[in-house]
Chain A
Amino acid sequence: MSAQADAVPAANVWRPSQARRRWSGWLFYGLAVVSTLMGLVMLGALLFDIFTDGVREVDWHFLSNYPSRIADNAGLRSALLGSLWMLAFTAIIAFPLGVGAAIYLEEYAPDNWLTRFIQLNIANLAGVPSIVYGLLGLGLFVRWLELGRVVLAGSMTMALLILPLIIVASREAIRAVPDSLREGSYALGATRWQMVRQTVLPSAAGGILTGTILALARAIGETAPLITIGALTYVAFDPNGPLDIFTVLPIQIFNWVSLPQKEFHSLAAGGIVVLLVVLLTANSLAVYLRYRMQRRLQ
């Protein structure tokens, strides 16, 4: 065999082109780095611009005062409280519904066309423009249920908006729980609910919470649906419960940006800083929870 191989003339030996492949490898590496940097640079520029404009606006006066026609007196107290109230009720409504739906779809629903139809449409719902949810909320909660332009109507609308996100994230988390744990639980005489409650949910909790917090972070930033249901108002008092009229941070920011005076644009930047801090806090909490849940499981 080897004698034959030796006999092949050197010119006929197949020699792959190393240089060209190495070059294309480097090229792709470069493209990937540039793509990553694009995102980072944009984010950096955005943060820099906003912080230079806005950070000096953010002080206790800014947080504790109501909006005003006079820029020096204006603050975002009512908007911040409105956002927090809305967020709390959105969480209370969306979390149990979303997780419940995910548990049903993953652990209980038979694998038939109806289940697949529901799953497909939940994925579709996640892609529906938020303004459409706003119109639904206006028709359903504000007008038909006659709630008016209150926190609860906003929360219910936001809950509808983020439900698909929570359901999809929770389903992923539940599906990641290995079947061997389900079998182990059943084999000890657990009922289905015991199996879900004591085996699946603890293992999936990290993913479910992370998904929920990220969905809520989206709800804080949404503007369009709340404008639609009428949260675009001048609110010079504290919203103190679910049935109070309210406005939220992004709408207050939008309000200020749309005014001609330059001072209000700085206030808008300050509002964005506050909004970003709330968002990043929520995201950090999500990362921390995921980390802690994963560590507990190992």
Chain B
Amino acid sequence: MINLRIDAQPADAVATPSENGQTDAILMTRSLNFWYGSAYVLENVNCDVRPREVTAIIGPSGCGKSTFLRCFNRMNELIPTARLEGSVVFRNRDIYDRAVDPVEVRRQVGMVFQKPNPFPKSIYENVAYGPRVNGYKGDMDEIVETSLKRAALWDEVKDDLKKSGLALSGGQQQRLCIARALAVQPDVLLMDEPCSALDPIATTRIEDLIRELREQLTIIIVTHNMQQAARISDRTAFFTVAESGAGVLVEVNDTQKLFTTPTDPRTEAYITGRFG
């Protein structure tokens, strides 16, 4: 299905991601440039993310996909040499504004990492961690149960919540990390290749989960797997490496359209497997 060849459209869609002028985006980047030290990583990225949709980010290795994802919850600034210009707007507020506390941003924009990273604590404590650090005073048992159910893990672990999170299988660990992220009730969930360390069955479960979660929150997922992007996402953003060596956003469009009628020849080359 990704082999359809359509004549390339004019590539003017690059800087105007919402082609019909919609402004209902929950997250927007404007003129986003990013450096690690002297390495130019992202060049002038303008991208809109719509609420309650799954947005997939695809592109060849080294095009700055993960870096781009981490711009949305200010994780990049944990690296000392990181530098960002431009703006990332979340609910009409620039999260890089001086007055904004990154801790508050990360509460609202959760993240699941490439390699499952449960804390060396019990399953219960893993899920309760987020609510605890954010000062949640309510019924912790309930929030743990709800979160594990939302992450489709409850039935497998409900009888031994005291067991270490590290004792679970890789796929279960990743769902535990999703439950952990959901427990602080974020509006957006960032996923950085969440299935790359998992076997196909575990991957399928996570993909099903992503489709269910779409009803409740906005998901941005970086994936190396174009089939996965096609299966689970509503919109897809394609990044590639520009002449400058930095990653650029080539186009973002409805997944269906991007894979069938890409507007940019670079996108077409990538999805048909002629490059990357």
Kindly state whether residue A49 has any CB partner on chain B within 8 Å. no
Q: Contact between B129 and A185 (Cβ–Cβ < 8 Å)? A: yes
Closest to A112 in B: B80
Q: How large is the interface on B (under 10, 10 to 19, 20 to 34, 35 or more residues)?
A: 20 to 34
The answer to whether residues A188 and B115 also contact, given A111-B80, A202-B120 and a CB cut-off of 8 A, is no
Residues of B within 8 A of A180 (CB): 113, 115, 117
CA distance A194 to B180 in the complex (A): 16
Closest to B164 in A: A298
Residues of A within 8 A of B167 (CB): 298
CA distance A202 to B118 in the complex (A): 14
Residues of A within 8 A of B78 (CB): 182-183, 186
Kindly state whether residue B134 has any CB partner on chain A within 8 Å. yes
CA distance A68 to B110 in the complex (A): 71
Q: Contact between B120 and A297 (Cβ–Cβ < 8 Å)? A: yes
Kindly state whether residue A65 has any CB partner on chain B within 8 Å. no
- One digit per residue, 1 when the CB lies within 8 angstroms of any chain A CB and 0 when it does not, for chain B 85-124 equals 0000000000000000001101100110101011111000
Contact of A189 among B119, B133, B166 (CB under 8 A): B133
Kindly state whether residue A199 has any CB partner on chain B within 8 Å. yes
Q: Contact between A188 and B164 (Cβ–Cβ < 8 Å)? A: no
CA distance A190 to B121 in the complex (A): 16
Contact of B110 among A181, A182, A187, A191 (CB under 8 A): A187
Residues of A within 8 A of B183 (CB): 188
Chain A 198-215 interface residues, beta-carbon cutoff 8 Å to B: 198-199, 202-203
Expressed in whole angstroms, the minimum distance between the Cβ of B174 and any Cβ of chain A is 12
Q: Contact between B130 and A188 (Cβ–Cβ < 8 Å)? A: yes
CA distance A202 to B80 in the complex (A): 25
Expressed in whole angstroms, the minimum distance between the Cβ of B115 and any Cβ of chain A is 6
Q: Contact between A191 and B119 (Cβ–Cβ < 8 Å)? A: no
Closest to A182 in B: B78
Kindly state whether residue B73 has any CB partner on chain A within 8 Å. yes
Expressed in whole angstroms, the minimum distance between the Cβ of B223 and any Cβ of chain A is 19
Q: Contact between A187 and B106 (Cβ–Cβ < 8 Å)? A: yes
CA distance A188 to B117 in the complex (A): 12
Closest to B190 in A: A187
Kindly state whether residue B177 has any CB partner on chain A within 8 Å. yes
Chain A 154-212 interface residues, beta-carbon cutoff 8 Å to B: 178, 180-191, 194, 198-199, 202-203
Kindly state whether residue A110 has any CB partner on chain B within 8 Å. yes
Residues of A within 8 A of B113 (CB): 180, 183-184, 187
Expressed in whole angstroms, the minimum distance between the Cβ of B106 and any Cβ of chain A is 5
Expressed in whole angstroms, the minimum distance between the Cβ of A201 and any Cβ of chain B is 12
CA distance A186 to B80 in the complex (A): 15
CA distance A182 to B110 in the complex (A): 14
The answer to whether residues A187 and B134 also contact, given A181-B117, A199-B119 and a CB cut-off of 8 A, is no
CA distance A182 to B118 in the complex (A): 11
Kindly state whether residue B184 has any CB partner on chain A within 8 Å. yes
Closest to A178 in B: B117
Expressed in whole angstroms, the minimum distance between the Cβ of A175 and any Cβ of chain B is 16
- One digit per residue, 1 when the CB lies within 8 angstroms of any chain A CB and 0 when it does not, for chain B 68-82 equals 000001010010100
CA distance A269 to B80 in the complex (A): 57
Closest to A111 in B: B80
The answer to whether residues A189 and B106 also contact, given A110-B80, A194-B133, A198-B129 and a CB cut-off of 8 A, is yes
The answer to whether residues A181 and B119 also contact, given A187-B181, A188-B129 and a CB cut-off of 8 A, is yes
CA distance A297 to B121 in the complex (A): 7
CA distance A296 to B107 in the complex (A): 28
- One digit per residue, 1 when the CB lies within 8 angstroms of any chain B CB and 0 when it does not, for chain A 35-50 equals 0000000000000000
Residues of A within 8 A of B177 (CB): 184
Residues of A within 8 A of B80 (CB): 110-111
Q: Contact between A188 and B106 (Cβ–Cβ < 8 Å)? A: yes
Residues of A within 8 A of B133 (CB): 185, 188-191, 194, 198
Contact of B73 among A181, A187, A202 (CB under 8 A): A187
Residues of B within 8 A of A298 (CB): 120, 164, 166-167
Closest to A295 in B: B164
CA distance A111 to B75 in the complex (A): 18
A residues at B contact (CB < 8 Å): 110-111, 178, 180-191, 194, 198-199, 202-203, 296-298
Known: A184-B119, A184-B180. 6 other contacts (CB 8 A): A180-B113, A183-B75, A183-B117, A188-B110, A188-B130, A298-B167
9 A-B residue contacts at CB 8 Å?
A: A180-B117, A184-B118, A185-B119, A187-B106, A187-B181, A188-B134, A189-B103, A189-B130, A198-B129
B residues at A contact (CB < 8 Å): 73, 75, 78, 80, 103-104, 106-107, 110-111, 113, 115, 117-121, 129-130, 132-134, 164, 166-167, 177, 180-181, 183-184
